[in-house]
Amino acid sequence: CGSDFQSLVKRPLKPPGIDIPWQDRSFATPSGKYELYSDSALQNGQNPLPCFKLPLKGSPGFDLRLLTPHLKNSLHSQGFAFVNDKPAAHVNPLVLTEKKLAGQARARVVSPNGCLDVRLKPDPAVPEGVVMIYEGWWHKSGSVNFLTADSLSDMGEQAAYYDTFCNLEPLSKGGHGVY
């Protein structure tokens, strides 16, 4: 990068790269243009035009949508590997009241695929109907991967870790916390 610590203290370093994505208006499509109609999508069995799809809904007993975002100051770091605690589940206080978990410090998140013991963090900024657990917790503490299905995305055949639905239960229901 051609810079040392002292020069970084004196002035900021502008990393190389493009300031504005697609500033040259060249896109990675066969035509080089932004394509509203996509022959590639059609050839892959997808709708060639953008279309609205209703979001999936949970099934009976699994009415909460699980979100697993990255922490803003962490990008797949190993920080959680050394934390000897359970993941924190951020949940709207109204949901905790509805699930009779208000005032509880811990609970169990259950999905059709598994379960995970968590610390409860009441958070009015989290929408009702959502359980949010930051990704990155390792197996020993309990990973959100215990809760997600192993499905493939509609395009690209990549892992689809979205549309996982869950429920919150008190720890008194038994079980061992991760399965």
Predicted structure pTM score: 0.72
Q: Phi/psi at 143 (nearest 5 deg)?
A: -100, 145
Model pLDDT, residue 78: 65
Model pLDDT, residue 169: 96
Q: Does 156 have pLDDT greater than 50?
A: yes
Summarize pLDDT for 47-102 with one digit per residue, the tens.
Answer: 999 888 888 888 899 999 999 888 777 766 666 666 678 899 999 999 999 999 99
Task: Determine the Cα–Cα distance for residues 118 and 123; give it in Å rounded to an integer.
Answer: 15
Arithmetic mean of pLDDT over the chain: 84
Domain spans, the chain: 18-52, 64-173
The count of residues in the chain is: 179
What CATH number should be reported for the domain whose range is 64-173?
Answer: 2.40.40.20
Question: Tokens in use for 134?
Answer: 């930051």
Task: Report yes or no: 163 and 96 within 8 Å, Cβ to Cβ.
Answer: no
Model pLDDT, residue 179: 47
Q: Does 161 have pLDDT greater than 80?
A: no
Higher pLDDT, 74 or 109: 109
**Residues 147-154, mean pLDDT to the nearest whole number:** 81
